[in-house]
Amino acid sequence: MAPEAGSRVTVELGQTAMPVPYYTEGVDYSAWTSMLDASTVPYALHSGSSVVIASSLSSAKYVGPESHPTALMLYYQMGINAQSAAAGLDGQQPPHQASPLRPWVVETCAGVNPNASDYSANMPYPALDALSVLRAPSTWGLWHELGHQRQSTVWPWDMPSLGEVTVNIFTTAALRRFWGESLPVGPRAATWDRAQIYLMQPDAEREFDNMESNTGANREVMFEQLRRSFGDTFYPRLERAARTLGDPGDKAARKRLFQVEASKAANADLSEYFGAWGLRPDAQTLAQIAALSLPKPPGQPTQVPVFGGSAESRILDVWAFSAQGRNVQIEGHAWPPGAVIEARTQHNGRAGVATADAFGRYRNDALDKGYLRDGATLLELRTANSAGASQQATVTQRPVVTSLRVRRTQTGAIWVNGTGAPAGADVEVHNRDGSWPAVATVGGDGTFENDHLNDNHLVDGSTMLEVRMNFRERSFPERWRAVLLQAIDGSFDVECRFTTSEPAGESLQAIEGQCAKAVLP
């Protein structure tokens, strides 16, 4: 039975109860420091109108003069209110009323990742960023975990992949309350550059839900573009509509709801925008949007820069690899398509070396070292007639796996080691769920290993190991596969040694028949 309004609950504390340092918002905090100094209980509490913070005594004492609990509670109130506003929780009645229950910020064990649960944001020890009035306003993790308290579960159509993306609508809402549009943490201009590379790809290669080709950071660009293009009222409108309609029940229906209600919130037909981002709206979605008879959005929303990015002509990324003889192979992306790429030469001149194609890609396989800034290893490029800064790259070997050894241990774990280049490149495995986690890094001696993989790291879940290389945040298309052969004793023990070929990037032939290197089209 629900308690009647105004009813009271009496709690009796036993003799073992001990007082803890406890700050209540609105009360003089002059005794706070003395309470911390005198306490023998290893905990401390802050209680505000918007939040309760439960921390260790040691962290509360360590923060010291940075605690200032009155100001700290005010910052929490400002940030949480900003998140509520972004969620459209501005009404006095459900469903558009923010919950009166306060979230808890709880300091947890050292070494765990920050995480959230119902009405709880859990930060690892020492949670100094959550306790310091100087640090809290610029702590991404804190507002990210609190943002989960406001995150919709109705319109994000695939929470396993979007749950850690759409929450940042609320992370950035809180941070903007303190910093405006120039956030001190979070995605930067490079995130926008990578998203532009994605947006220039051929239609068939743009698939929003493909975690391999469209990372979480890329996805954040789309959601931020919607806010920048259609204003701070966009998400409150979308959130209120989603709460009113409720969960339609499956991924396809949620995705349709998002695209239709987003168009309403923007007061614009966003079917082309979502198509450009690779959401691939189905016929029913397109029909529902068309029935709204909304105007096309002004300008080109996909070209609206976010996270401090630029709309100017510029190099988006640049790579330089050793090629046959003394030549250098260069490749990368530039904006806009058709941009002429210039290199600063050894003698401080400028020379055109490539032109960006319709997809922003440029390449030259046979530059000599006279086109390198230092005549040896330093490449410096810019777009012609560009006022933007140039980008540099150091000539290196194209990432490659030269041998791969796989064994199932007596405990059932899968142990993999091998050789590759260059040093610092990450070895990623193709999980059976389609993801590509990094499992090892090439060391200075050219070796890599990991002794605690499992069957989930096999692309087919049973016998096939597939790896690729990631270097400087770029995953390369070449893939190396090793088929695990069952030995009589039940163990796996297969070694694949790969030959080399020129030019770099061509398909390699494995010495042993059960090993293969594949190159994506």
- The reported pLDDT for the residue numbered 84 is 97
Q: Could you tell me which CATH number the domain at 22-150 has? A: 3.40.390.80
* Percent of the chain predicted with pLDDT > 90: 73
With cut-offs at 50, 70 and 90, classify the pLDDT of residue 267: very high
Sign of CA dihedral 120, 122, 128, 130: negative
Sheet holding 493-497, edge to edge: 447-453, 414-421, 400-408, 493-497
Span 5-36, pLDDT tens digits: 677 888 888 888 888 999 999 887 788 888 99
Residue-range domain boundaries for the chain? 22-150, 188-303, 314-394, 400-515
- The reported pLDDT for the residue numbered 52 is 98
| Interstrand relation of 464-471 and 391-394 (parallel, antiparallel or unpaired) | unpaired
Span 270-294, pLDDT tens digits: 999 999 999 999 999 999 999 999 9
pTM for the model stands at: 0.86
Do residues 505 and 400 touch, judged by C-beta distance below 8 A? no
- The reported pLDDT for the residue numbered 324 is 72
The pLDDT of residue 492 is above 70:
no
Q: Could you tell me which CATH number the domain at 314-394 has? A: 2.60.40
- The reported pLDDT for the residue numbered 216 is 79
Q: Judge if 22-150 and 188-303 fold alike in CATH terms.
A: no
Query: What mean pLDDT comes out for the span 241-251?
Result: 95
- The reported pLDDT for the residue numbered 501 is 42
Do residues 133 and 66 touch, judged by C-beta distance below 8 A? yes
Query: In the predicted model, what is the mean pLDDT of the chain?
Result: 90
Q: Helices 189-199 and 216-230: crossing angle, nearest 10°?
A: 100
Query: What mean pLDDT comes out for the span 465-471?
Result: 94
Do residues 113 and 124 touch, judged by C-beta distance below 8 A? yes
CATH topology classification for 188-303: Neutral Protease; domain 2 (1.10.390)
Give the side-chain half-sphere CA count within 13 A for 4: 2
The pLDDT of residue 499 is above 70:
no
